[in-house]
Amino acid sequence: MKGAHHALCGAAAWVAVASTAPWTLGWYPTSPLGVLTGALVCAGAALAPDADHHDATVANSLRPVSQWVCDVVGKVSGGHRNGTHSLLGIAALTGVAWAAGQVTVATEALGDLAVGAGLMSVLLVAFAAQALRLTRRRRDSWPLALALAAFITVAAPTEWDWLPVAVGLGAAVHVAGDMLTDAGVPLLWPWEPRPPRWWRRTPVLDEVWSRGGHFAVPVLGTTGSWRERALVAPLTAYAAYGTGVAVVVGGLTALGYDAGAVVDRWWDAAEELVGGATAVGAVALQVVAPG
């Protein structure tokens, strides 16, 4: 799966899990600020497994730091599409995020600052910015990432308990996305079991579990296929919807309004509008239908 598609899937996954807006799951509810910042962090985390290759897009997102990180990750994980694309890799990234979230600095003026989480977010935000082309030039990733990380560190220190959730979710979404392509992933790395001979000789099954120990459900075909784009298009709209609701709710709350009540009224009005349009359409079909 292409890098930008990974990032968009990560943002959509965070909206589904963390937002309490209609059409979301709300399994790990956060504030509007948590939805917005988490979507960006999760989008970056959905690119983190590709930090195992020195020529990957993320390696050039925040040079030279990102290149150093990718070099180290690639050596530790055994190269591209090995350790970082496994269950162990997801657990390791989640553990790093949890450890980063424990690093705080107490200040008199601003209280406890989530310095570790802020530093980690610098890299993740840069990953997302590079893949989603939020900046025109690569060098612009530095000020964007630093500004957002500083804002997150100061404005949302009490919410960084969701950092490992966002990072773990993003990494899992990445692995799942690559698992839907022909190449598959070494899900059980460092154990790479070979399928029995009868399995390898059975059509379809040989694509699900390859002789190299990779697992796949290749419904998307090759990376960047039209099926991949068809999957990502509605997910992009969903991510935009969730973050848009978060902006509206956050803005209304800041202005002193009962954001929940306002959104509920808007939602009821939208449902009535859709219902009215459906009724009008049904009547029109009856009028023009032959016989």
Do residues 78 and 141 both lie within one domain?
A: yes
Give the pLDDT confidence score for residue 171 in this predicted structure: 96
Considering its fold, how many domains does the chain have in total?
2
Do residues 22 and 104 both lie within one domain?
A: yes
Do residues 21 and 57 both lie within one domain?
A: yes
Q: How far apart, in whole angstroms, are the C-alpha atoms of residue 263 and residue 27?
A: 20
DSSP one-letter code for 15: H
Do residues 215 and 275 both lie within one domain?
A: no
Q: How far apart, in whole angstroms, are the C-alpha atoms of residue 236 and residue 246?
A: 15
Do residues 45 and 64 both lie within one domain?
A: yes
- Which phi and psi angles does 185 have, rounded to 5°? -140, 150
Give the pLDDT confidence score for residue 96 in this predicted structure: 92
Do residues 49 and 162 both lie within one domain?
A: yes
Do residues 132 and 269 both lie within one domain?
A: no
Domain housing 230: 3-257
Do residues 184 and 106 both lie within one domain?
A: yes
Do residues 157 and 287 both lie within one domain?
A: no
Give the pLDDT confidence score for residue 144 in this predicted structure: 76
- pTM score of the predicted model: 0.84
Q: Which residues of the chain have pLDDT under 70?
A: 136-140, 155-160, 252-291
Do residues 195 and 275 both lie within one domain?
A: no
- Which phi and psi angles does 28 have, rounded to 5°? -135, 70
Do residues 196 and 268 both lie within one domain?
A: no
Q: How far is CA 162 from CA 86, 117, 168, 178, 230, in A?
A: 22, 10, 10, 25, 30
- Residues 1, 183 contacting (CB under 8 angstroms): no
Give the pLDDT confidence score for residue 126 in this predicted structure: 83
Give the pLDDT confidence score for residue 156 in this predicted structure: 56
Do residues 129 and 272 both lie within one domain?
A: no
Give the pLDDT confidence score for residue 286 in this predicted structure: 60
- Residues 175, 101 contacting (CB under 8 angstroms): no
Q: How far apart, in whole angstroms, are the C-alpha atoms of residue 264 and residue 124?
A: 34
